[in-house]
Chains A and B, each alone.
Chain A
Amino acid sequence: MTDPAEKITLDEWDHRYRELCCRGLREPDYGGSLRRHAEAGGDRRLLRLRMDNSAAALRLWNLLLSEEDRLHRARAEGKYLVGAMKDLGTVPVMAYALDNTIAFYPDGAWWTPCLMEHSEGLLALADRLGVDDSFCPVRAMVAALVDQKHFPVPDTLVCSVGATCDDMAAIAQRIDELGFPVFWWEIPHRRAAEPDEPAVELPDGFRAPAAQVEFVAGGLDRVRRHLEAETGQSLDDARLAAGIGRANHVRRLLARLRHFAYLGDPSPMPALEMMIAEILSIHFCSNWTETVAVLEDLLAEVRRRLVAGGGHGAPGTIRIYWVNPPADLRAMNLLEECGGRICGTDYMIAHALDPIPEDVPPLEALARAALADPLVGSTADRAARICREAEASEAEAVVVSRIPGASHCASEALLVGQNVGRRLGLPVLDLEVPPVLDAMEPTVRARLEALVETAVNRRHA
Chain B
Amino acid sequence: MVKTVAYCHPLVPCEWIESHGLRSRWIVPRDAEASAGAGSLTGMCPYARAVVDSLASSDEPSLAVLTTACDQMRRGAGLLAEDRPDDVFLLHVPKTRGTPGSRAYYGDELRRLGRWLVAGGGNASTADRLAEIMARRAAARDAFRRGETPVETPSWCNPIAAALAAEMNANDSQGAALGLVGGPLRQRDLAVARWIRAAGGRIALDATCGGYRTLAGPIDPAAVARDPFEELVRIYFDHIPTIFERPGDRLYAWLAGQVAARQVRGLLCLRHVWCDLWHAALPRLKETAGVPILELDLGDEDHGGESRLRGRLEAMIESLSHPEPR
**Which residues of A are interface residues toward B (Cβ below 8 A)?**
129-132, 134-135, 159, 161-167, 169-174, 176-177, 182, 184-186, 188-189, 191, 194, 211, 215, 218-219, 222, 378-380, 405-412, 414-415, 418
- Distance from B248 Cβ to chain A, minimum over Cβ atoms (Å): 5
Interface of B is mostly: helix
- Distance from A168 Cβ to chain B, minimum over Cβ atoms (Å): 9
Task: Let me know if A415 and B79 touch, CB within 8 A.
Answer: yes
Cβ of B190 < 8 Å from any Cβ of A?
Answer: no
A442 and B71 alpha carbons, distance in the complex (Å): 32
Q: What are 18 A-B pairs with beta-carbon distances under 8 A?
A: A130-B280, A134-B274, A135-B280, A161-B95, A162-B94, A162-B96, A167-B276, A170-B279, A177-B248, A182-B246, A188-B68, A188-B105, A378-B81, A380-B78, A410-B42, A410-B72, A410-B274, A411-B41
13 extra A-B contacts, CB within 8 A, seeds A159-B246, A215-B105, A410-B44: A130-B282, A132-B279, A134-B279, A161-B246, A171-B280, A173-B247, A177-B284, A184-B247, A186-B102, A405-B43, A407-B72, A410-B75, A414-B38
Task: Let me know if B41 and A410 touch, CB within 8 A.
Answer: yes
Contact of A162 among B95, B112, B247, B273 (CB under 8 A): B95
Cβ of B61 < 8 Å from any Cβ of A?
Answer: no
Task: Let me know if A169 and B277 touch, CB within 8 A.
Answer: yes
- Given A215-B105, A415-B82, the answer on whether A410 and B43 have CB atoms closer than 8 Å is yes
- Given A162-B95, A170-B281, the answer on whether A194 and B112 have CB atoms closer than 8 Å is yes
Contact with A along B107-134 (1 / 0, CB 8 A): 0100010010000000000000000000
A194 and B117 alpha carbons, distance in the complex (Å): 13
Contact with A along B76-113 (1 / 0, CB 8 A): 10110110000000101011100101100100100010
A405 and B280 alpha carbons, distance in the complex (Å): 13
- Distance from B297 Cβ to chain A, minimum over Cβ atoms (Å): 9
Which residues on the A side are within 8 Å of B246 (C-beta)?
159, 161, 169, 172-173, 182, 184
Which residues on the A side are within 8 Å of B279 (C-beta)?
132, 134-135, 170
Within 8 A of A (CB), among B44-66: 44-45
Task: Let me know if B280 and A173 touch, CB within 8 A.
Answer: yes
Which residues on the B side are within 8 Å of A170 (C-beta)?
276-277, 279-281
Task: Let me know if B72 and A166 touch, CB within 8 A.
Answer: yes
A73 and B239 alpha carbons, distance in the complex (Å): 47
Which residues on the B side are within 8 Å of A129 (C-beta)?
283
Which residues on the A side are within 8 Å of B273 (C-beta)?
134
- Distance from B104 Cβ to chain A, minimum over Cβ atoms (Å): 8
Cβ of B70 < 8 Å from any Cβ of A?
Answer: yes
Contact of A211 among B44, B68, B70, B108 (CB under 8 A): B108
Contact of A378 among B78, B95, B102, B247 (CB under 8 A): B78
- Distance from A348 Cβ to chain B, minimum over Cβ atoms (Å): 14
- Distance from B172 Cβ to chain A, minimum over Cβ atoms (Å): 37
Task: Let me know if A407 and B276 touch, CB within 8 A.
Answer: yes
A323 and B224 alpha carbons, distance in the complex (Å): 50
A378 and B45 alpha carbons, distance in the complex (Å): 18
Task: Let me know if A411 and B94 touch, CB within 8 A.
Answer: no
Which residues on the B side are within 8 Å of A188 (C-beta)?
68, 92, 94, 105
Cβ of B74 < 8 Å from any Cβ of A?
Answer: yes
Number of interface residues of B (CB under 8 A): 45
- Distance from B83 Cβ to chain A, minimum over Cβ atoms (Å): 10
A134 and B44 alpha carbons, distance in the complex (Å): 12
Task: Let me know if B95 and A186 touch, CB within 8 A.
Answer: yes
A149 and B256 alpha carbons, distance in the complex (Å): 35
Task: Let me know if A169 and B82 touch, CB within 8 A.
Answer: no
A49 and B310 alpha carbons, distance in the complex (Å): 48
A379 and B284 alpha carbons, distance in the complex (Å): 32
- Distance from B177 Cβ to chain A, minimum over Cβ atoms (Å): 26
Task: Let me know if A191 and B43 touch, CB within 8 A.
Answer: no
Contact with A along B273-305 (1 / 0, CB 8 A): 111110111111001000000000000000000
Interface centre among A163, A186, A412 (most CB of B within 10 A): A186
Task: Let me know if B92 and A165 touch, CB within 8 A.
Answer: no
Task: Let me know if B247 and A176 touch, CB within 8 A.
Answer: yes
A412 and B79 alpha carbons, distance in the complex (Å): 9
Which residues on the B side are within 8 Å of A169 (C-beta)?
71, 95, 244, 246, 276-277
Task: Let me know if A162 and B68 touch, CB within 8 A.
Answer: yes
Task: Let me know if B92 and A411 touch, CB within 8 A.
Answer: no
A412 and B101 alpha carbons, distance in the complex (Å): 30
Which residues on the A side are within 8 Å of B74 (C-beta)?
163, 189
Contact of A131 among B71, B108, B280 (CB under 8 A): B280
A186 and B105 alpha carbons, distance in the complex (Å): 11
A407 and B246 alpha carbons, distance in the complex (Å): 18
Interface centre among A159, A184, A380, A408 (most CB of B within 10 A): A184
A161 and B75 alpha carbons, distance in the complex (Å): 16
Contact of A166 among B78, B115, B277, B283 (CB under 8 A): B277
Task: Let me know if B71 and A408 touch, CB within 8 A.
Answer: yes
A218 and B105 alpha carbons, distance in the complex (Å): 11
- Given A134-B279, A165-B71, the answer on whether A218 and B76 have CB atoms closer than 8 Å is no
Contact of B101 among A165, A166, A218 (CB under 8 A): A218
A219 and B104 alpha carbons, distance in the complex (Å): 13
Which residues on the A side are within 8 Å of B94 (C-beta)?
162, 186, 188
- Given A177-B283, A188-B92, the answer on whether A215 and B247 have CB atoms closer than 8 Å is no
- Nearest A residue (CB) for B100: A218
Which residues on the A side are within 8 Å of B287 (C-beta)?
177
A189 and B77 alpha carbons, distance in the complex (Å): 12
A163 and B95 alpha carbons, distance in the complex (Å): 9
- Distance from B304 Cβ to chain A, minimum over Cβ atoms (Å): 19
Task: Let me know if B78 and A186 touch, CB within 8 A.
Answer: no
Interface centre among A130, A211, A222, A380 (most CB of B within 10 A): A130
- Given A134-B276, A185-B96, A414-B41, the answer on whether A173 and B248 have CB atoms closer than 8 Å is yes
Which residues on the B side are within 8 Å of A131 (C-beta)?
280
A165 and B74 alpha carbons, distance in the complex (Å): 10
- Distance from A138 Cβ to chain B, minimum over Cβ atoms (Å): 11
A415 and B76 alpha carbons, distance in the complex (Å): 11
Interface centre among B95, B108, B273, B276 (most CB of A within 10 A): B276
A5 and B244 alpha carbons, distance in the complex (Å): 50
* 7 residue pairs, one from A and one from B, having the closest CB atoms: A170-B280, A130-B283, A410-B43, A410-B44, A166-B276, A407-B71, A170-B276
Task: Let me know if B244 and A163 touch, CB within 8 A.
Answer: no
Contact of A174 among B43, B75, B283 (CB under 8 A): B283
- Nearest B residue (CB) for A214: B101
- Nearest B residue (CB) for A132: B279
- Distance from B260 Cβ to chain A, minimum over Cβ atoms (Å): 21
- Nearest A residue (CB) for B102: A186
A169 and B74 alpha carbons, distance in the complex (Å): 14
Which residues on the A side are within 8 Å of B283 (C-beta)?
129-130, 174, 177
- Nearest B residue (CB) for A128: B283
A418 and B95 alpha carbons, distance in the complex (Å): 30
Which residues on the A side are within 8 Å of B68 (C-beta)?
162-163, 188-189
